[in-house]
Amino acid sequence: MMLSSNTSAGTQTTVGNMMSCASCGVAEADHKLKICTACNLVRYCSVNCQKEHRQQHKQECKRRAAELRDKILFKQPESSHVGDCPISCLPLPLDRNGSAVMSCCSKIICGGCTYANQMREMEGDLQQKCPFCRQRLPNDDEEADLNTMKRVEANDPVATYEMGIKHYIDGDYASAFNYFKDAVELGDVESHYTMSHMYREGLGVEKEKKKKIYHL
């Protein structure tokens, strides 16, 4: 059988439809081959074959490894720690000004879905409701806080974080820290960062470098 590619080019050698060692040409059917982990282009039957082929493969391996690194580095992430909008299923913006947290269900809704819902209600002269759970929107901040507290009591990490932010803005750092601590235990990532900031500045807690770094 003829080889389908030249081993000196540094690319994977094949015999028919089977993979083969890039150095000696032994087929995968006859020997278990291990892939070059740097470039994922070639396979070898042994460490000796890999060493013997290194000079021929080195340049192509470096080029392909660089391509793979760039592909990973510049790939648009499918989502982030903020998650996706539960309505549009699109990644939520990292800037919180581009989304809204619903006090009734603690769902974070993207600005586009929030706007579309508002336009629908205005055009149809409808009662204002949450675009996700369809509960009536609160009449004032006090009612919104009551809704959020219900979600906090249900161990909702988003609501717990939001309540921590409210106390933080009000200057009640001790209470804010306790809410952030509970939110961290519930898996909220942003609370980790906020706690790191509080440990760094000594807000509601004594300054502590180790815990500042831990929560980053």
Q: What is the pLDDT of residues 33-80, one digit of tens each?
A: 889 988 988 999 999 999 999 899 899 999 998 888 888 777 766 778
What single letter denotes the amino acid at residue 122? M
CA distances (Å), origin 178, targets 73, 152, 160: 37, 12, 10
Mean pLDDT of 170-194: 96
User: What was the pLDDT predicted at 76?
Assistant: 65
Mean pLDDT of 169-196: 96
Q: Is the model's pTM score more than 0.85?
A: no
Instruction: Please say if the pLDDT value at position 182 is more than 80.
Output: yes
User: What was the pLDDT predicted at 18?
Assistant: 53
Pairwise CA distance, residues 194 & 66, whole Å = 36
Handedness of CA 43, 46, 52, 55 (dihedral sign): positive
Instruction: Please say if the pLDDT value at position 162 is more than 50.
Output: yes
User: What was the pLDDT predicted at 17?
Assistant: 41
CB neighbours (10 Å) of residue 132? 18
pLDDT band at 147, cuts 50/70/90? very high
Residue bearing tokens 């579309």? 116
What single letter denotes the amino acid at residue 24? C
Instruction: Please say if the pLDDT value at position 197 is more than 60.
Output: yes
Pairwise CA distance, residues 138 & 104, whole Å = 8
* Position with higher pLDDT, 72 vs 8: 72
Quick one: which H or E segment has residue 13? strand 13-15
How is residue 93 annotated by DSSP? P
